[in-house]
C-alpha cells in the first residue's frame, strides 16, 4: 500500500517577543486577574466559597507538586460542537454576550452581537443574538455550518484580527441556492439559528457544575475546522501541521480493489474517516471498526497520522518495548523515530489511558455478541487516526465503548495507580432516552411524523447539534460525574474536565488569536471559543478562569500532573516547529508560522488549567470538596426535561439577560433541515 511516511519544544520566548499579537494578548491578560469570582454565591455554595482575590499566590512549581500528590485520575468528558456564547453567553461572571468579569457591556462593545446578511435577491436582513428556551424545545436543534471554509468566513479576518461578524451571512450562503425558494427560506432560518444561545433552563446540569466549580471562558478550538482535526488535537495538540512541514502537500494515492483515491493530507481540515477501519485499511481482518452511519467515500479518507501524540508520552519508560508490537512499524513510526528513545530515556512512569466512545464496540443496548457500531461517530475517534495506535495491540486495547466505561466504573476496574480517561458520546445513548418535546406547537403544531423525525434524529449524547439532545448529553456527563463522585476513594484523587471539540459554527463574540494558516491560506489556529469546566475536590468554587488556551491547555495540564514531556519538546516535533518558520510556509502577507505543531508549553499563547485549582485545598489548609457537592440525584438525571424546564430556578441562577426583552426572530424554526415544512 502506497503511503507517505509522515510525522512531527516550541521556541515560545522567541515567538512571543517577535509576535505583536502575542504581546498584545499578554498585556490584555494582565489587565484582568487570571481568576475572578462569580457573583452571588447561593446557599449551597457559600460554605465552600473561597474568594480567588484573597487566595494565596503560589508558585506554579509548588502547585504542580501538590497536584501530583493529590490527583491521580483525570476524566475528560469530550463533547461536541458548541461555542462558549452558545451555551454560556449569559452566564454571570463570565465573558459573555452582555457582560464580563468587570460588569455589563453594551452591544457596541460586543463584536457581532447584531449581524446583517443579504439574500440572493438583494434584500438585507438583521439578526441579533437571541435566547432559545423550553418554549422553543431548545435542547435539540439542527447543526449550522462548521466547515473549514465556512468557519473562516465567519471569523472574517481583517489585518490579522477576526471581526466575528459573518456568522449569519455564512450560514445563509451555505444553504440558499439561486432560483430555489425553499433553499432561500432554509438559508434565512439557518442565518437565525447560528445566532441563538441557550441557558440554565436548557442545560441546568452544565450550568450547575460551572457555578459550583470553575468555568474557563477563554479556551478555543485548537483548529479553525470541524470535528476531526480537533478530536486529534485533544491528544496531539495539533491536526498534523508538523506532518505538513515534514512532507509537504504531495498527493498520497491508495488503491484497494475497485477503490482508488488520494487520501486527505495533514493538516486535516475536514472530517475524513480514519484510514484504519476504512476500505483502504490493509489489515485482514480489520482491527478497527467503521461506522454504518457515516460516509466512507473513497475521497473522504485521511492519510495515516504519524506525528507524536499523548499515547506515546503516556507509555513513558516502556515506549521502546511497546512499539515493537506495531504490525506496520516501518510506516507508523517513521516520523517519531527520534521521539521514541527520547521518551523512553526519561524513565518516566507509564500513565494508564483509555478512550471510551459510544459505539466503538458492543454496547449494552445491543443483542449479546453483536456490535453494530450504529452509535459510533468514527470521525470523532482521535486515537484511531494514528497507525501506531490502531496497529499496536499494546495501544489499541485502550479504545473502548461507552458501556465499557459504565461497567469499569461499577466494577471498580480502573487501574489502581490512576490514569487519563476520555469519554465521548455518539449517535445514540446507552440509557435509551428520547428528546423531551416541551412545546408541541414549536416550530409549528407538531404532527406524529414530526415527533417521529425528532425522536429518530435527536437522541445522541455527545451534545452535537443535529443528532443529539442537550439534556440527554448533560445526563451522560452527570452519569460520569456521579460515577466518580460516588466512589469516595476515587473522588479524592480525581479531576474531571468537561469540554468540547469545536463550536459547530455557532456565534461567539470573542476573537481568537490567529496563530497559523494552513496550506490553503485559510486561518488554521485558532478556532472559535468553546466551553470548559473543571470539577474536582480541589477545584476553585464559583470561579471563572480567564486563562487563554485551546486543547493544548488540557495536554499541558496532563503533562504537569503526570510529569510528561511536552509534545512540543520532542525531537521530531521541535525540529519541525523550527522548520515551519521557513518563509516557504508563510501565511498571507508574509505571516511567519511559529506554531505549526503542538504548543503545550506554558506561555501567553497557551496557558494550562492549573488556575482552576484552589491552592488552599491542594495544600490542605482547607478541606477538599465533598463528593455530595458534585453529585446530582439519579432520579433527576433520568427525568426529562430536567427540572421540568425550570432549570435556572432549580439551581438558583439568573442569566445576565433575564431582565432584558427576549425576542425570537419572526417565524423562527430551529429545525430547518429536520422539519423544513416550518421554514
Residues 107-147 pLDDT 10s: 889 999 999 999 999 999 999 999 999 999 999 999 999 99
pLDDT surpassing 50 at residue 379: yes
Is there a domain that residue 289 lies in? Answer: no
DSSP character at residue 535:
E
The residues facing 533 across adjacent strands are: 215, 498
CA distance 273 to 384: 9
pLDDT surpassing 80 at residue 3: no
CA distance 123 to 645: 37
Is there a domain that residue 4 lies in? Answer: no
Please give the full DSSP string across 48-104, using - where no structure is assigned: G---GGGSPP--HHHHHHHHHHH--EEEEEEE----HHHHHTT-TTSS-SSEETTEE
CA distance 579 to 597: 10
Buried b (16+ CB within 10 A) or exposed e, 25-37: beeebeeeebbbb
Is there a domain that residue 321 lies in? Answer: no
Is there a domain that residue 266 lies in? Answer: no
CA 36-40-43 angle, to 5 degrees, is: 120
DSSP character at residue 352:
-
Is there a domain that residue 591 lies in? Answer: no
CA distance 84 to 152: 18
The residues facing 406 across adjacent strands are: none
pLDDT surpassing 90 at residue 441: yes
Q: Which residues contact 492 (CB under 8 A, 6 or more apart)?
A: 70, 537, 624
Number of folded domains that form the chain: 1
- Global pTM reads 0.94
Residue-level pLDDT at 31 = 67
Residue-level pLDDT at 370 = 85
Residue-level pLDDT at 368 = 87
- Domain span holding position 163: 12-59+71-223+347-565+613-678
Cell numbers for 425:
458520546
CA distance 641 to 391: 43
Q: Which of 537, 542, 494, 536 lies closest to 651 in space, CA to CA?
A: 542
Is there a domain that residue 362 lies in? Answer: yes
pLDDT surpassing 50 at residue 4: no
Each residue's pLDDT tens digit, 237-267 = 999 999 999 999 999 999 999 999 999 999 9
pLDDT surpassing 90 at residue 270: yes
pLDDT surpassing 90 at residue 8: no
CA distance 287 to 269: 25
Q: Do strands 529-535 and 494-500 pair parallel, antiparallel, or not at all (unpaired)?
A: antiparallel
List of E strands, 575-645: none
Count the neighbouring beta carbons within 10 Å of the beta carbon of residue 588: 12
Q: Do strands 114-118 and 124-128 pair parallel, antiparallel, or not at all (unpaired)?
A: antiparallel
Is there a domain that residue 336 lies in? Answer: no
Is there a domain that residue 217 lies in? Answer: yes
Over residues 447-461, the mean pLDDT reads 97
Query: Mean pLDDT of all residues in the chain?
Result: 94
| Cα 408 to Cα 356, 483, 530, distances in angstroms | 11, 10, 29
CATH code for position 550:
3.40.720.10
The residues facing 259 across adjacent strands are: 256
CA distance 270 to 229: 7
Element (H, E) at 498: strand 494-500
Amino acid at each position: 500500500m502506497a503511503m507517505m511516511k509522515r510525522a512531527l519544544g516550541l521556541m515560545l520566548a522567541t515567538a512571543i517577543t517577535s509576535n505583536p499579537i502575542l504581546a498584545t494578548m499578554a498585556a490584555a491578560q494582565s489587565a484582568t486577574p487570571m481568576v475572578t469570582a462569580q457573583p452571588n454565591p447561593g446557599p449551597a455554595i457559600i460554605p465552600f466559597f473561597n474568594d480567588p482575590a484573597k487566595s494565596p499566590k503560589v508558585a506554579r512549581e509548588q502547585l504542580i507538586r501538590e497536584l501530583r500528590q493529590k490527583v491521580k485520575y483525570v476524566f475528560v468528558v469530550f463533547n461536541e460542537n458548541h461555542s462558549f456564547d452558545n451555551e454560556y453567553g449569559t452566564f454571570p461572571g463570565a465573558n459573555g454576550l452582555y457582560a464580563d468579569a468587570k460588569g455589563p457591556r453594551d452591544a457596541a462593545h460586543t463584536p457581532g452581537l447584531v449581524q446583517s446578511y443579504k439574500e440572493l435577491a438583494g434584500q438585507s436582513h438583521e439578526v441579533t443574538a437571541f435566547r432559545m428556551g423550553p418554549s422553543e424545545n431548545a435542547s435539540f436543534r439542527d447543526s449550522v455550518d462548521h466547515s473549514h471554509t465556512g468557519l473562516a468566513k465567519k471569523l472574517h479576518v481583517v489585518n490579522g484580527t477576526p471581526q466575528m461578524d459573518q456568522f449569519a451571512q455564512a450560514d445563509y450562503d451555505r444553504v440558499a441556492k439561486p432560483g430555489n425558494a425553499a433553499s432561500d427560506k432554509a438559508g434565512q432560518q439557518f442565518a437565525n439559528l447560528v445566532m441563538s444561545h441557550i441557558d440554565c433552563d436548557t442545560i441546568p446540569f452544565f450550568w450547575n457544575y460551572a457555578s459550583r466549580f470553575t468555568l474557563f471562558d477563554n479556551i478555543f478550538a485548537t483548529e479553525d475546522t470541524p470535528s476531526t482535526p480537533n478530536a486529534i488535537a485533544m491528544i496531539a495538540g495539533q491536526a498534523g501541521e508538523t506532518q505538513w512541514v515534514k512532507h509537504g502537500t504531495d498527493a498520497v494515492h491508495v488503491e484497494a480493489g475497485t477503490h482508488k483515491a488520494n487520501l486527505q493530507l495533514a493538516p486535516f481540515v475536514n472530517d475524513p474517516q480514519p484510514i484504519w477501519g476504512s476500505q483502504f485499511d490493509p489489515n485482514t481482518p480489520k482491527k478497527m471498526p467503521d461506522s454504518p452511519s457515516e460516509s466512507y467515500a473513497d475521497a473522504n479518507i485521511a492519510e495515516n497520522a504519524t506525528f507524536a501524540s499523548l499515547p506515546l508520552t503516556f507509555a513513558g519508560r516502556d515506549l521502546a518495548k511497546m512499539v515493537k508490537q506495531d504490525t506496520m512499524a516501518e510506516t507508523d513510526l517513521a516520523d517519531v523515530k527520534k521521539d521514541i528513545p527520547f521518551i523512553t530515556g526519561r524513565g518516566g512512569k507509564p500513565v494508564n489511558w483509555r478512550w471510551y466512545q459510544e459505539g466503538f464496540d458492543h454496547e449494552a443496548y445491543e443483542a449479546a455478541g453483536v456490535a453494530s457500531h450504529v452509535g459510533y461517530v468514527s470521525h470523532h475517534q482521535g486515537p484511531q487516526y494514528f497507525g501506531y495506535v490502531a496497529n499496536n495491540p499494546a495501544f489499541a486495547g485502550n479504545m473502548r465503548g461507552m458501556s465499557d466505561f459504565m461497567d469499569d466504573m461499577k466494577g471498580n476496574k480502573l487501574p489502581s495507580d490512576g490514569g487519563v480517561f476520555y469519554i465521548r458520546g455518539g449517535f445514540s445513548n446507552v440509557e435509551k432516552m428520547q428528546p423531551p418535546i416541551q412545546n408541541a406547537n414549536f416550530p409549528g403544531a407538531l404532527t406524529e411524523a414530526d415527533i417521529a423525525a425528532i425522536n429518530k434524529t435527536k437522541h445522541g449524547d455527545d451534545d452535537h447539534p443535529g443528532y443529539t439532545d442537550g439534556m440527554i448529553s448533560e445526563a451522560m456527563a452527570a452519569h460520569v460525574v456521579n460515577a466518580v463522585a460516588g466512589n469516595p476513594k476515587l473522588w479524592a484523587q480525581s479531576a474531571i474536565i468537561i469540554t468540547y471539540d469545536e463550536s459547530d459554527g455557532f456565534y461567539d463574540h470573542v476573537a481568537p488569536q490567529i496563530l497559523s494558516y494552513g496550506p490553503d491560506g485559510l486561518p488554521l489556529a485558532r478556532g472559535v471559543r468553546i466551553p470548559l469546566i473543571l470539577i474536582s475536590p480541589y477545584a476553585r468554587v464559583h470561579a471563572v478562569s480567564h486563562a487563554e488556551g485551546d486543547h493544548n491547555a488540557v495536554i499541558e495540564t496532563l503533562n504537569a500532573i503526570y510529569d510528561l514531556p511536552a509534545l512540543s519538546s520532542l525531537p521530531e516535533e521541535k525540529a519541525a516547529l523550527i522548520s515551519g518558520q521557513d518563509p516557504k510556509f508563510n501565511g498571507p502577507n508574509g505571516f511567519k508560522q511559529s506554531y505549526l505543531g503542538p504548543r503545550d508549553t506554558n506561555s501567553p499563547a497557551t496557558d494550562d488549567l492549573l488556575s482552576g485549582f484552589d491552592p488552599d485545598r491542594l495544600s490542605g489548609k482547607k478541606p477538599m470538596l465533598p463528593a455530595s457537592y458534585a453529585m446530582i440525584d439519579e432520579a433527576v438525571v433520568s427525568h426529562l426535561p430536567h427540572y421540568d424546564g425550570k432549570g435556572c430556578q432549580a439551581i438558583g441562577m439568573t442569566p445576565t439577560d433575564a431582565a432584558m426583552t427576549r425576542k425570537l426572530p419572526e417565524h423562527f424554526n430551529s429545525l430547518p433541515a429536520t422539519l423544513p415544512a416550518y421554514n
